[in-house]
Structure 1
Amino acid sequence: MADLADKLNRPLLDAAGVTVGDRVLDLASGAGEPALGAARRVGAQGLVVGSDLVPGMLAGAVRRAGSEAARGVEAPVFTAADMTALPFADGSFDRVTCRFGIMFVPDAAGALHAVRRALRPGGTAAFMVWGPLSGNALFAEVAAAVAEHLGEDGSLDPLFRFAEPGLLSGLMRDAGFARAEETDLTPVRKAPADQPFWWAALDMSFGHRLGDLSADRRGALEASIAARFAARAADGVVPVPAHVRIVTGTVAG
């Protein structure tokens, strides 16, 4: 997934305006992106703090940061934090980024208020969320196969919570951001046809439904998914279009 991740990280950091010397907070950092990329941008004059609600999620990010530091590359610091109760003083950061995290916060409005508080006047927050399921072939094909074999249960609803245009930007304005804008991106990942690149999406999104399946039923499901992507393949490559939305908000200066 690294190629697609890079296509998404750079526009998110650009939308937030991350540059040399900035103090940046990255929310829901998970394995470390885009916090690691932000640290390379801000350099020694800046600071990047990566956070996640689950401390265990940050173990890989901490290892990656250590490797960056060992090579003399600027690296973030990571800490566990609840997005709705950020443990930082008012106006601590110039920029806040969040890639595919805000949709999983039950109190999204509370999180946006906390983010606005943590930003300095004139600071910018940029959130990346998924656009419509129909534009995200990876999830759409996997979900269709799961529904065919196991029935539909709304497992992807949280993931696509802010797929409707204007929904998240409206919440940002309600939270007190002076300006909120949306930009849609439609990158296409070119995946090797002979690799099960869809496994991670299957396990992350539907793992709770797979544990009780027999080996035969799991195998039949996976064969259906593989067949769906094989039908898209040409010259050994599967084009996998995605649709994401970047929503940016600025605090009044």
Structure 2
Amino acid sequence: MADLADKLNRPLLDAAGLVEGCRLLDLASGAGEPALSAARRAGPDGLVVGSDLVPGMMAGAVRRARSVEGPAPAFTAADMTALPFADAAFDGVTCRFGIMFVPAVETALREVRRVLRPGGKAAFMVWGSRAGNGLFAEIGDAVADHLGEDGSLDPLFRFAPPELLSDLMRAVGFAETSETDLTPVRKAPAGQPFWHAALDMSFGHRLGGLTAEQRKALEADIARRFDARAVDGIVPVPSHARIVVGVAG
């Protein structure tokens, strides 16, 4: 997934206005991106702080940071709804595919605005429509056919409707907002289980009770669906993401 991730990271950091010397907070950093890429761009005179609600999620990010050359982010546990940072501490805030999982989203947005300096930018990346995201659409349809639909993917697409997140940002005091859609297409090799991690991540809670035969049948169906899309041995996997930017007043 690294190639697709890079195609999404770069425009997100651009949208946040990240340049050398900036101070940036990355929320829901997980395994470390885009915080690691941001630290290289901010340079030795900048500061990038990566954060996640669950400290254990950042263990891989910390290991990766130790192995890269050049500037690295600092990592700390942080709850988006009660950020442990001073007012106006950052020039920018990024969050890649994290804001949709926050129950008290308006509280989180107020906190993001608080820690931004006036004129600073918050850039959130969210998924567009399920239909436009081939990876999730195919996996979700296969799981629904085998196990029934239970709404497991609904949180991923919470902010798929245009302007929904922008409206919330303006409601908590962001001076202006803008939205940009991205539709990169990943080219995956046919016959390879590139979809396996997404299956476990999105549906692991449903797969534990399956027998070995049921799991095998489900995975064979998913593989068949993707391989049917292949052209010259390559499976095109479309994605639809949206970057929502707010400027702190």
What TM-score, normalized by structure 2, do the two folds share? Answer: 0.99
Counterpart Cα distance in 2 of 1:195 and 1:74: 35
Counterpart Cα distance in 2 of 1:171 and 1:83: 15
Match of 1:154 in 2: 151
Match of 1:163 in 2: 160
**Alignment check: 8 A CA contact 2:190 2:227 kept:** yes
Structure-to-structure mapping, 1:11-90, within 5 angstroms: 11-68=11-68, 71=69, 73-90=70-87
Residue 10 of structure 2 aligns to which amino acid in structure 1? R
Q: Runs of 5+ in structure 1 lacking a partner? A: none
Superposed displacement of residue 166, structure 1: 0.6
Alignment partner of 1:139 is 2:160: no
Superposed displacement of residue 67, structure 1: 1.1
Match of 2:10 in 1: 10
Residue 64 of structure 1 aligns to which amino acid in structure 2? R
Alignment partner of 1:239 is 2:207: no
**Alignment check: 8 A CA contact 2:191 2:223 kept:** no
Match of 1:194 in 2: 191
Deviation per CA, 1:16-64, whole angstroms, max 9, x where unpaired? 1100100000000000000011101110111000000000000001011
Counterpart Cα distance in 2 of 1:64 and 1:217: 36
Counterpart Cα distance in 1 of 2:243 and 2:210: 37
Decide which of 213, 217, 225 is 1:216's aligned counterpart. Answer: 213
Counterpart Cα distance in 2 of 1:215 and 1:60: 30
Alignment partner of 1:226 is 2:226: no
Counterpart Cα distance in 1 of 2:165 and 2:122: 12
Deviation per CA, 1:138-183, whole angstroms, max 9, x where unpaired? 0000000000000000000111100011100101001100011110
Any runs of at least 4 consecutive aligned residues in structure 1 with deviations exceeding 2 A, and if so which?
A: none
- 1:232 is paired with a residue of what secondary structure? coil
What TM-score, normalized by structure 1, do the two folds share? Answer: 0.98
Q: Runs of 5+ in structure 2 lacking a partner? A: none
Counterpart Cα distance in 2 of 1:175 and 1:185: 26
Superposed displacement of residue 194, structure 1: 2.0
After superposition, the CA RMSD in angstroms is 0.5
Structure-to-structure mapping, 1:174-185, within 5 angstroms: 174-185=171-182
Counterpart Cα distance in 2 of 1:11 and 1:166: 19
Match of 1:122 in 2: 119
Identity of aligned residues (%): 76
Counterpart Cα distance in 1 of 2:117 and 2:206: 43
Residue 128 of structure 2 aligns to which amino acid in structure 1? G
Counterpart Cα distance in 2 of 1:212 and 1:99: 31
Counterpart Cα distance in 1 of 2:159 and 2:168: 10
Match of 1:248 in 2: 245
Residue 195 of structure 1 aligns to which amino acid in structure 2? Q
Counterpart Cα distance in 2 of 1:90 and 1:76: 20
- 2:29 is paired with a residue of what secondary structure? coil
- 1:159 is paired with a residue of what secondary structure? helix
Superposed displacement of residue 236, structure 1: 1.0
Residue 114 of structure 2 aligns to which amino acid in structure 1? R
- How many aligned positions are there? 249
